[in-house]
Structure 1
């Protein structure tokens, strides 16, 4: 096994008025990572560069998502983003507008880590 997944976070996001799939996907990614913190890197002396981050966003029009722009918004790791068919379009019968709902899975992978030892901080 070349890598091990050590975290997966899920989130949802929407664009209520602009029918912007990239904006909805960005909000889903932000929702997924908003409450995450990875103190393990400092605790075991790993570099964030060792982490590969794989993001999958689901929307009804995956071809309308700017995956390269989304990748630049993630703060750590070597990031790839792909858009797939998913999410939901909710039409408004009164206005003809569409609310775009996106879902996201953010996965982080590291090379296999045998014998992790937490580093102790000096007092």
Structure 2
């Protein structure tokens, strides 16, 4: 049977000075998962390795995101990360500095239980 999504969290992150898309994406993912606590694994005696985690990050230059590095940082489940066009770049007109803003959706799935 197919997996069922049981969580979706959204987050935002940025890199203000380095124009590092992976860093901005990592901060967006951290922002999203920082809002979650999943006590059901302990309460139901489930192993979190059964959970599939699917992350989508949006940035202006998706090819500059190291998705493997981001997936390795996720603390639970079997994770995949995909970068897509989104987010925002903001340029300071005074000095030309570009602020990279990333958005992230973190989804968690489990095999159907019923």
Instruction: Bin the TM-score by the shorter chain.
Output: over 0.9
Which 5+ residue runs of structure 1 have no aligned equivalent? Answer: 115-123
Which 5+ residue runs of structure 2 have no aligned equivalent? Answer: none
Task: State the partner residue of 2:74.
Answer: 74
TM-score by length of 1: 0.91
Tell me the alpha carbon deviations over residues 63-116 of structure 1, each in whole angstroms, 9 at most, x when there is no partner: 0000000001110000000000000000111111100000000000000012xx
Q: Which has the higher strand share?
A: 2
CA RMSD in angstroms comes to 0.7
Find runs of 4+ consecutive structure 1 residues off by over 4 angstroms.
none
Matched, 1:17 2:12: no
Tell me the alpha carbon deviations over residues 4-42 of structure 1, each in whole angstroms, 9 at most, x when there is no partner: 000000000000000000000000000000121110011
Equivalents in 1 of 2:58, 2:14: separation in Å?
11
Matched, 1:100 2:100: yes
Matched, 1:32 2:32: yes
Please say which structure displays the higher CA radius of gyration: 1
Task: State the partner residue of 2:47.
Answer: 47
SS at match of 2:73: coil
SS at match of 2:70: helix
Task: State the partner residue of 1:120.
Answer: none
Equivalents in 1 of 2:58, 2:35: separation in Å?
20
TM-score by length of 2: 0.98
